[in-house]
Amino acid sequence: MSIVDTAKQAAQGLLQSAMEKLVPLAPDSWIPGGVPDPLIARKHGLIGKPVSRLDGALKVSGGAHFSAEHRFDGMVYASLAYSTIARGRIVAIDSAEAQAAPGVVLVMTHHNAPRMAAPALFGSSPTAVGASDLPILQDDRIHWNGQPVACILAETQEQADHAVSLLRVTYAPEPATTTLEGAKANGIEPGVFMGGPLENTIGDAEGAFASAAHKVDHTYRTPRHNHNPIEPHAATLAWIGDELVIHDASQMVSQQAQTIGEVFGLKPEQVHLTSPYVGGGFGSKGLWDHQIIAAAAARLSGRPVRIALSREGVYRIVGGRTLTEQRVAIGACADGTFQALIHTGLTVITPHNAMPEPFILGTQSAYAAPNLLLKVEATRMDLLTNTFMRAPGEAVGTFALESAIDEMAVELGIDPVELRIRNEPEKDPTSGLPFSSRHIVEAWRQGAARFGWDQRSPVPGARQEGEWRTGMGCATGTYPYYRMPGAEARITLTRDGDTVRAKVEVAAAEMGMGTATTTAIVAAERLGLPIEAIEVGYGDSAIPGAIMAGGSQQTAAIGAAVIAAHTALVDELLALAGNDSPLAGLSADEVGSDEGGLAKLDEPGRRESYASILARAQRDSVTATKAGSAPLELMHWSMHSYSAVFCEVRVNAVTGETRVSRVLGAFDCGRILNPKTATSQFRGGIIMGLGMALMEETMVDDRSGRIMNPSLAEYHLPVHLDVPEIDVIWTDIADPHTPMGAHGIGEIGITGVAAAVANAVYNATGKRVRDLPITLDRLI
């Protein structure tokens, strides 16, 4: 790093800390969202109405092309060989037989792979999205069991797969840390997440806990998880001239193109990455070794390449959620008010990444307690790098916290819903910021009434019919509102006679969240056009800006960018309108879009249609591109999505089998933009939570560091019969400080669910399970 870079960083650091001090104190009106988005007040139109997915017909008829479904002329197929040791080096690779096998075009190992830079580690710059910063096929070092050691290209997939089986790789193993105990013995370090320490200390939590009248203090454990999108990771790519064209499956289209470009020393415009359809991601559809290996092999062979990972391949090279060991200790008065809340523990990372599972994030703003101690520590194992998975931190953190709350409710003899409401904070307990919009108590009340919570006996095991014991449990879910900088929107109005259509382009990703549809709904309202006149462009790195489908922030990021681009568009249109227009002399903040044109806000009769403005100016189209405002609102308010989750389980007294019979999620997530797709997001998250509660675990062999269940047959996911009808309701109270009044909804669904299940299991059986998943053996 040069002196200039260091100075720049120092200046940025100073600016950042000055902002952190000043932004909370600034008047609301200076902050994005300080003046409510006008769309919040608009009650007619499509926002809030159930709209079917615009790409629905394409998807149900098999016409949507996913990454492994594109083709190039002369394309060859890739197959990977994976290391069978956890750490050490490659002594030799005998590839003679593989080279000679029918159809083989290339055998690529560290000996002949082109020289490439290591990918930039996620977060090391605004566009860096490498899951680890290990070099790929550049040397003989092995860092995890499953690391790619060779890539074979052949004319068909069958030929490539067969040739891989003919490779003979000899290793010199070295001692590897593959047990948790071994890792702990090597050392424990503070957890650092996105540049900040994972630690909050307020008051004297241990002291207050020691002297509290009522206490609970337990350790909760969550295992490793895999995302398991049903579409395995794949890319189809080609070098066309100096350009690398990649059809990928990506939740971070532009950032991924940029990071790949840097690996190959390319200019940003030399990588064109498209990803319009992604077959599920949940945090996993990012940059891993396979895209880089395939691009290198394509360059070396001069042939376009399809790399479609096998399901086992996904487990070998695409990391999942890491394990946690969490202590939650609560000290309370007899009336239930918390005096001390301690949430600390350990998570596992690797020597080559920096993603400690931040399980205290939800606890930071959950409950009022005068004394708080929250801390994540990390230890390192020689394994495949772990990564973000749906609600990183909150999904497993709420299991521990919300189980402990339930244990405290039992200790105090207070209803667990009531106990939570009694500890509702007035302002954010760790940051001290006011909440932008928090109506969790309404969610609790509405949810409890609808679920029939009053039918629950506080006495465990009180309901038994035949072999089956029934119990009810509940938990709070929470996930922060984020809006990342960098999003841009490009709006193009095109006139054809009297009709005007709009194209709205955002570098966003659509993995099934309904983003394309919701963006069209919002754009139609924003521009005053019917939804049929809107086309949404996304999933293409050629679109300006960078947006990530992560952190449940995409809708907010797009929303703010479209607000900015719309304002720029109105400016352009007013300039084009000129002096002969009824709008002459008005400025952009005096007019709004309505019914196919612009109108003066306080005098709607003074208006002109887009078609008329463009016609007079003799223009067929007008374009505006603009980035969203800096997300200062995040430093000014404490902003979160919330849920109250209720669950009923039946547990078999003989076999220990747990069946989930009812689930209700009551959500407080701002205004719901499209109830149809939102319901699916909530339910999908809840179902992943049921899997986490009852069956999901990535098992690692302690001796070899190798994942033992790398298949959908051995890693169990919830299937149709495991999932009851899931009731979903929401407060629908708009947050006055966010675009459209909306909050993110992609990750909140999974949070709290595992605790609600565990608490219901306790209510059914009297057995408290503190280690996930709650399998049969833990109940008999």
Partner 1 sequence: MSLIVNGTAVPAPADARVSLLDHLRETLHLTGTKKGCNQGACGACTVLVEGERILSCLALAVQYDGRQVTTVEGLAQDGALHPLQAAFVEHDGFQCGYCTPGQICSAIGMAAEAQRGVPSYLSDDLSADTTLTRAEIQERMSGNLCRCGAYNGIIDAIQATIAPKVPA
Q: Which residues bind partner 1 (CB under 8 A)?
A: 52-53, 55-57, 59-66, 68-69, 71, 156-158, 162, 227-232, 277-280, 282, 308, 310-311, 511-514, 676-677, 679-681, 683-688, 711-713, 717-723, 725-726
Residue with tokens 């070794």: 289
Minimum CB separation of residue 511 from ligand FES in Å reads: 8
Could you say which of partner 1, ligand FES, none residue 721 binds, taking C-beta under 5 to 8 angstroms by partner kind? partner 1
**Cis preceding linkage at 429, omega within 30:** no
Which residues 658-717 are close enough to bind ligand FES by CB under 6 A? none
Residue with tokens 């879009």: 593
Site string for ligand FES, 483-512 (x = CB under 6 A): -----------------------------x
Gap between the Cα atoms of 48 and 770, Å rounded:
39
Contact assessment for residue 730 and residue 666, using Cβ atoms and an 8 Å cutoff = yes
76-82 and 305-308 strand pairing: parallel
**Is 747 in the active site?**
yes
Q: Which is nearer to ligand FES, 280 or 425 (CB)?
A: 280
Q: How many residues bind ligand FES (CB under 6 A)?
A: 3
Strand order in the sheet with 168-173: 141-142, 88-94, 168-173
Residue with tokens 């080279």: 99
Minimum CB separation of residue 211 from partner 1 in Å reads: 45
Minimum CB separation of residue 240 from partner 1 in Å reads: 21
Pick from 284, 635, 297: nearest CA to 434: 635
Minimum CB separation of residue 723 from partner 1 in Å reads: 4
Pick from 741, 256, 286: nearest CA to 522: 741
Q: Which is nearer to ligand FES, 178 or 681 (CB)?
A: 681
Contact assessment for residue 178 and residue 700, using Cβ atoms and an 8 Å cutoff = yes
Is residue 544 close enough to count as binding ligand FES by CB under 6 A? no
Minimum CB separation of residue 514 from partner 1 in Å reads: 7
At 682, which amino acid appears? F
Q: Which is nearer to partner 1, 52 or 567 (CB)?
A: 52
Q: Which is nearer to ligand FES, 512 or 752 (CB)?
A: 512
Could you say which of ligand FES, partner 1, none residue 687 binds, taking C-beta under 5 to 8 angstroms by partner kind? partner 1
Q: How many helices and strands (H and E) does the chain possess? A: 19, 30
DSSP symbol at 146:
T
Which contiguous run of DSSP H or E holds residue 448?
A: helix 440-451
Q: Which is nearer to partner 1, 157 or 219 (CB)?
A: 157
Cα of first residue to Cα of last residue in the chain, in angstroms, is 59
Minimum CB separation of residue 707 from partner 1 in Å reads: 15
Quick one: tokens of 82? Answer: 């994976």
Among 4, 230, 459, 719, binds ligand FES (CB under 6 A): 230
β-sheet bridge partners, residue 732 = none
Minimum CB separation of residue 302 from ligand FES in Å reads: 32
Quick one: tokens of 316? Answer: 């070998």
Is residue 280 close enough to count as binding ligand FES by CB under 6 A? yes
Is residue 69 close enough to count as binding ligand FES by CB under 6 A? no
Q: Which is nearer to partner 1, 40 or 669 (CB)?
A: 669
Gap between the Cα atoms of 157 and 103, Å rounded:
10
Q: Which is nearer to partner 1, 24 or 724 (CB)?
A: 724
Site string for ligand FES, 141-170 (x = CB under 6 A): ------------------------------
> Cα separations (Å) of 63 from 58, 69, 229, 232, 237?
5, 10, 19, 18, 20
- 469 exposure class (CB count in 10 Å sphere: 0-12, 13-18, 19+): buried
The residue annotated as part of the active site, out of 357, 633, 696, 747, is 747
Residues forming contacts to ligand FES in the complex (CB under 6 A) are: 230, 280, 512
Q: Which residues are catalytic?
A: 747
